[in-house]
Amino acid sequence: MNICVFCGSASGNNPAYADAAKELASLLCTAKSTLIYGGGNIGLMGILADEVMRGGGKVIGVIPDFLMNKEVGHAGISKLEVVGSMHERKRRMADLADAFIALPGGWGTLDELAEILTWKQLGLVKAPVGLLNTKDYFHSLVNQMETMVKEGFLYSKNLDELIIANTPEELLIQLRPISV
């Protein structure tokens, strides 16, 4: 199973975010899943990729050429694909993925999550999408999504399709009924 993970190019202020990324990496290796991600070697992206590689797993990174220097494309992964734009990056990651997970991150993570949720709503992707809600990081975002439903801008069935879990193990179990 190829699991695409959207996450920060920073590590955040709480070590719990890095710990959750490491735990997710370990579980991906145990499940023999391939990590698909944004291709950087910094922040949660780098931690996640490094841990999957350390655990003997496979990692495919997809990074736009203009970010190669800024995010320092990860040379130590199984495969690094360089594309021409952010849109190409998201499309390529979606094409490779059997499931999607968002870890804490900033604007880029939010952009990737919003686009994949939109594509799912429109039927352009069928794969499950999950939020790893470490330390309630996504609490306010989920509240906003509930407001969108309440105010008639989002169908409840679309929000119901979003899988939300507090631990990597919980999330992977919900993303697929295969034991991790």
Residue 179 lies in a domain: no
The count of domains in the chain is 1
Q: How far apart are CA 95 and CA 110, in angstroms?
A: 19
- Bridge partners of 37, per DSSP, are 61
For residue range 140-152, list pLDDT tens digits in order.
Answer: 999 999 999 999 9
pTM of structure? 0.94
Residue 86 lies in a domain: yes
What is the Rg, in whole angstroms, of the alpha carbon atoms belonging to the chain? 15
Average pLDDT (46-72) is 93
Give the DSSP letter string of 120-154.
HHTTS--S-EEEE-GGGTTHHHHHHHHHHHHTTSS
Compute the C-alpha angle 26/180/49, nearest 5°.
25
Residue 13 lies in a domain: yes
- Bridge partners of 164, per DSSP, are 131
Q: How far apart are CA 29 and CA 92, in angstroms?
A: 22
CATH number of the domain residue 15 falls in: 3.40.50.450
In this predicted structure, what is the pLDDT of residue 83? 96
For residue range 109-166, list pLDDT tens digits in order.
Answer: 999 999 999 999 999 999 999 999 999 999 999 999 999 999 999 999 999 999 999 9
Residue 50 lies in a domain: yes
- What is the dihedral sign for C-alpha 4, 21, 172, 118? negative
Range of the structural domain that residue 130 is part of = 2-173
Average pLDDT (71-95) is 94
What phi-psi label fits residue 22: left (phi over 0), alpha (psi between -120 and 50 degrees) or beta? alpha
Residue 178 lies in a domain: no
Band (pLDDT 50/70/90 cuts) for residue 180 is: very low
In this predicted structure, what is the pLDDT of residue 176? 79
Residue 12 lies in a domain: yes
Residue with tokens 């919900």: 174
Mean of the per-residue pLDDT values of the chain: 95
Residue 180 lies in a domain: no
Give the percent of the chain with pLDDT over 90: 94
Q: Is the pLDDT of residue 179 over 70?
A: no
Band (pLDDT 50/70/90 cuts) for residue 177 is: low
What tokens does 84 get?
A: 């021409």
Q: How far apart are CA 109 and CA 124, in angstroms?
A: 19
What tokens does 97 get?
A: 């993925």
